[in-house]
Chains A and B, each alone.
Chain A
Amino acid sequence: MKYEAVIGLEVHVQLSTNTKIFCSCSTRYSGNEPNTSVCEVCSGQPGVLPVLNAEVLKRAVKTGLALNCSIAKRTKFDRKNYFYPDLPKGYQVSQFDMPICANGYIIVNDGLAEGKKDKKIGITRIHMEEDAGKNVHGSDGKSSFVDYNRAGVPLLEIVSEPDIRTSSEAKEYLEKLKTILKYIDVSDCNMEDGSLRCDANVSVRPAGETKLGTKVEIKNMNSFRGVQKAIDYEIERQIKVCESGSKITQETRLYDEAKAVTLTMRKKEEAFDYRYFPEPDLPPYDIAPKDIDAINSALPELPDAKFARYINEMQLSVYDASLLSNNPSLAAFFDECAAGYKNYKAITNWLLGDISKKMNELGIEDIFSSRIRPENLLEMLVLIDNGTISGKIAKTVVDEIFASGEKSSKIIEKLGLVQISDDGFILKIINEVVAENPKSISDYISGKEAAVGFLVGQIMKKTRGKANPKLVNEMLITELAKLKNA
């Protein structure tokens, strides 16, 4: 029998605000000692009053708008009750029945794969909540140690509809979500350091069946690749269970990255019963339409719109437009260059070619954290256009910009890279090369055109690549013609 998987993703993103969600403790505690960014509120002392961080509410609305959600007119917080040492109050302040955003979507498929269609993945809801602390397991096996620095860091939980059918679609969804969140600058979105976390709900059903199968929740994935592999493993495992005639157990499974398998979490004696109830310490919040409008109009151009503009207005290829629009900093760099230089294809070629290669070599993810600036690249492009340097020499200039951050013109002067366009000088070199290569000359005269390429190579070698290649070609052909007709 053919089976189909049904997948929904729950993504938690830490908002990169200065302070925690309900108190003024700093969120920049990374690398600090445990429990140094903790106060009465986030450690859950009796008698304290939480107050919502205005920036959290704003970023939640911003995220909702960027993900095509409707924004609640009125929203409130609820307590989700459970006991765990990393949760100081015995409940997590979250949102239950009145989340800040609902009914959004993300369009997946970057258009790279031939014949693939765009697909809308629904977003059920987005809600605000507080993060928990961190448990560190003691070496004696008897104790664990709890650090509450992370307790109270603002989170958005973004819940997708079960619209995803394959692990690669899940990966595309996550990548697109991350790109959008980076564009709107609400989170660092780093799965490795935990600022983006993902759980997956996976079930299988016979192809064509409309009823949902029993779902299994998978946790503990630490990379997009891990999410994809965990889902693949889980789909295969569930199909095997179904084919053996057994039933899927509804449960939570943990992904074991090293073994690339999912394993049953030790069974809880009693199913979770969170007993949600309204948080009495926080009032409800009304979101004014004018505030939504203000946030909406301040949203940057998002990747789908950028992609369309690159194709329709700038005639970039689908491939180039996709690579650029999926990389917020590279796209910003491109847009800055394109504002002052009309050969968009040339900018794209350098950005996606030599510059990206250089960034990979140096392990730089964000082009703005390197030494190259749009004005460096623009100046270099103009110098290529007016013949001061050749495209080949420009590669050396790029290397040097990355090393020193100096202006292209200064680098060219410093390293003596100016292209030689002096007729007299080039003619002198041509004559030398002609004299040194009688065999090639006779080959040419007897009709072997290929000899020209070899001779050009020799001339470029003598000038260490600095001769204007176009001029060399033209002048060499003129000289050879003279020899032939002599």
Chain B
Amino acid sequence: MISKEEITKIAGLAMLELSENEKAEYSSQLSSLLGYFNEIQDLDLAGVEPTNHALVADNVLREDTAVPSLGQNVVVAGAPATDGKSYRVPAIIETEEQP
């Protein structure tokens, strides 16, 4: 069972605000999800290579040749807030320092 503390931490990392009810709901849903993985854990997988992707094609590459980009107006058209050139976001004050 995933605890409410764990759900709160995961929600924080994903920047999700959850109500108490939602925390309880997701805690049971995530627990049953993880239960499936526990069943897999029980299998004997000695000698089986770990899978880290589900694609069939390996080594997909492209040539280093530029193609035109979308254009500034198209790019910022999808922005929730903009000055017409850039995405506008709340001021970032990450660099605030203390001695």
Q: Which B residues are CB-close (under 8 A) to A135?
A: 89, 92
- Contact check, A278 vs B91: say whether CB atoms are below 8 A apart: no
What is the number of residues of chain B that contact chain A, defined by CB distance less than 8 Å? 43
Instruction: Let me know if A212 is at the binding interface, CB within 8 A.
Output: no
Would you call B70 and A40 a contact (CB within 8 A)?
Answer: yes
| Interchain CB contact under 8 A, B64 and A145 | no
Q: Given A26-B69, A254-B95, A266-B94, do A273 and B13 touch, yes or no (CB 8 Å)?
A: yes
Contact of A144 (CB < 8 Å), options: B12, B62, B90: B90
Binds B, one of A53-61, A101-109, A320-328, A436-444: A53-61
- Contact (Cβ within 8 A) B92 A144: yes
Contact B69 A81 (CB under 8 A): no
- Residues of A within 8 A of B (CB-CB), count: 60
User: A283 is contacted by which of B58, B64, B83, B86 (Cβ under 8 Å)?
Assistant: B58
Q: With A254-B95, A275-B13 as given contacts, are A33 and B85 in contact (CB-CB < 8 Å)?
A: yes
When A85-B92, A265-B94 are in contact, do A52 and B53 touch as well, CB less than 8 Å? no
Q: How far is the CA of A43 from the CA of B77 in the complex (A)?
A: 12
Q: Are A38 and B53 in contact (CB under 8 A)?
A: no
A124 within 8 A of B: no
Q: Which single residue of chain B is at the shortest CB-CB distance from A288?
A: B59
Contact partners of B9 in chain A: CB under 8 A: 270
Contact with B along A299-311 (1 / 0, CB 8 A): 0000000000000
User: Is B98 at the interface (CB under 8 A from chain A)?
Assistant: yes
Q: Out of A25, A57, A136, A145, which one reaches B61, CB within 8 Å?
A: A57
Nearest Cβ distance between residue A58 and chain B, in whole angstroms?
Answer: 9
Q: Which residues of A contact B95 (CB under 8 A)?
A: 220, 254, 265-266
State which of A52, A141, A254 has its C-beta within 8 Å of the C-beta of B62: A52
In the assembled complex, how far is the CB of residue B49 from the closest CB belonging to chain A, in whole angstroms?
A: 11
Complex CA–CA separation, A273 to B58 (angstroms): 29
A25–B69 contact, CB under 8 A? yes
B44 touches A (CB below 8 Å): no
The chain A residue with its CB closest to the CB of B63 is A54
In the complex the two chains form, what is the Cα distance from A254 to B95 in whole Å? 8
8 A Cβ contacts from A115-167 to B: 135-138, 141-148
Flag if A35 contacts B76 (CB, 8 Å). yes
Shortest distance in angstroms between B73's beta carbon and chain A's nearest beta carbon? 9
The residues of B with any CB-CB pair to A shorter than 8 Å are: 9, 12-13, 15, 52-55, 57-67, 69-72, 75-76, 78, 81, 83, 85-99
Supplied contacts A145-B86, A264-B97, 5 more A-B pairs, CB within 8 Å: A33-B85, A38-B69, A141-B91, A266-B94, A280-B55
